[in-house]
Each structure stands twice: as structure tokens, then as C-alpha cells.
Amino acid sequence: MARPRTTSDEAILGAAARVVGRRGPAGLTLAAVAEEARLAPATLIQRFGSKRGLLLSLARRGEAETAAAFERTRAGHGSPLAALHAATAALASGVRTPEEMAGNLGFLQLDLTDPEFRACAAAQAARMRAELAALLGEAAAAGELAPGTDAEDLARTVQVAYNGALLLWAVEGGGDGAPLRAELDRVLRPHRT
């Protein structure tokens, strides 16, 4: 009879994400993740097969986490633009220091060089753009954005600004999330009513 799982895969993947933030994927070891999750490394092998399997599982959850962030913020905000700001802040909340950004940029190297990781990154990017476009369309319908605003086009611009703002934030020394909000407001300003 199999022993019941005391730690969920989601908890393990959360531990893996924290280790990636500190060490990058190249510095991630099963032992470090096991220590972070308070498990035996053999448990990780049983569940994920290898370091690559663990990292792929982490990459695969990106699209669902993006969708969940938008869903949560939609429920908590009456204004579509307020929900957009809250969702992007939630997505960026896992990166609190420039060093954590560096660890996550190491993951981007995997995304760009490995087809399986690239497919996950592309799915996550497409989901984010779709969620942004939906909120921007809702904002236009609610009168927060000018009539005739192309939500799909603006969503891509917002997504590029979001990614660029995170990089500048890391290069310029981190701090609170105010620069992200300011950059997104700068992009949205010409479209507001």
C-alpha cells in the first residue's frame, strides 16, 4: 500500500520556485529543493523523475498561475484597470530583489534554448496577453478607456512594458513595485478617458 502524500506537488513546486529565485535553474539541486520543501530528495525523484522533470513541471504551471492571478484580481476589483494593476503586481510579487530576478532570468535561458520549455513560456505569454486584452476590453466597455481602443494591440504594448519595467527595476536597484505601476500607467495614459 502506498504511503499518503504529506506534501502536495504544488507545495514542492513553490519550494522549487523559491530555490530558482535564489540560485537560478543551473544552481538548483534536488537536495536544495528537498530541504526547502522539508522532504527527502528521493521523494522528488519519485514524483518528478529528475531535475529536468521538476523544472518542466514548474514551467508548465506558469500558464495556470497567470490565469489564476487574473481571476483572483478580477473578483476583488470593480474596475478593470484596477484589476489589471493588481494582477500584474501579483505576477511580479515572486521577484522581490534584483538577485531573484537574475535567478528567474536564468529560467528564461531554458525557455529560449529548449523547445519543451519554450512551449511553456509561449503558452504563459499568450495567456497573459489574452487576460490583459480581456481586461482592457472590459475597461473600454466600462468607459475607463477611450472608445475605439484596440484592446488586443494595447495588451501587447502593456505586456512589453510589464516585462521591460521588471528588467529596469532590477537594473536600477529594486525597491517597491511602484515603478511597475508607473510604467503601466504611462502606457495606458493616452488611452484613458
Let me know if residue 19 belongs to a domain.
no
pLDDT at position 97, please?
86
Q: Please return the burial class of 90, using the count of CB atoms within 10 Å of its CB with bins 0-12, 13-18 and 19+.
A: middle
- Tell me which residue of 88, 87, 104 sits closest to 167, measured CA to CA: 104
Residue 184 in any domain: the answer is: yes
Cα dist from 49 to 2, 40, 55, 117, whole Å: 17, 14, 11, 16
Instruction: Provide the pLDDT for residue 176.
Output: 65
Q: What's the pLDDT at 1?
A: 47
- Within a domain: residue 50? no
Residue 174 counted as domain residue: yes
Range of the domain at 73: 61-191
- Any domain includes 73: yes
- Grid cell of 73 as nine digits: 484580481
In the prediction, which pLDDT does 5 show?
62
pLDDT of the residue at 183: 92
> Which pTM does this prediction carry?
0.90
- The SS3 of residue 192 is strand
What was the pLDDT predicted at 100?
A: 87
Q: Which residues pair with 192 in a beta bridge?
A: 145
Q: Among candidates 71, 114, 101, 112, which has minimal Cα distance to 167? A: 101
pLDDT value for 3: 55
Nearest to 52 by CA among 72, 77, 33, 71: 33
Q: Do the domain assignments include residue 84?
A: yes
- Quote the number of domains for the chain: 1
Give the three-state DSSP class for 152.
helix
The answer to whether residue 49 sits within a structural domain is no
Assigned domain for 158 exists? yes
Mean pLDDT, the chain cut into blocks of 10 residues (193 residues total): 71 94 92 94 94 96 94 93 96 88 89 95 97 97 95 98 92 74 94 94
State the cell numbers at 47.
514524483
Pull the grid cell for residue 182: 508607473
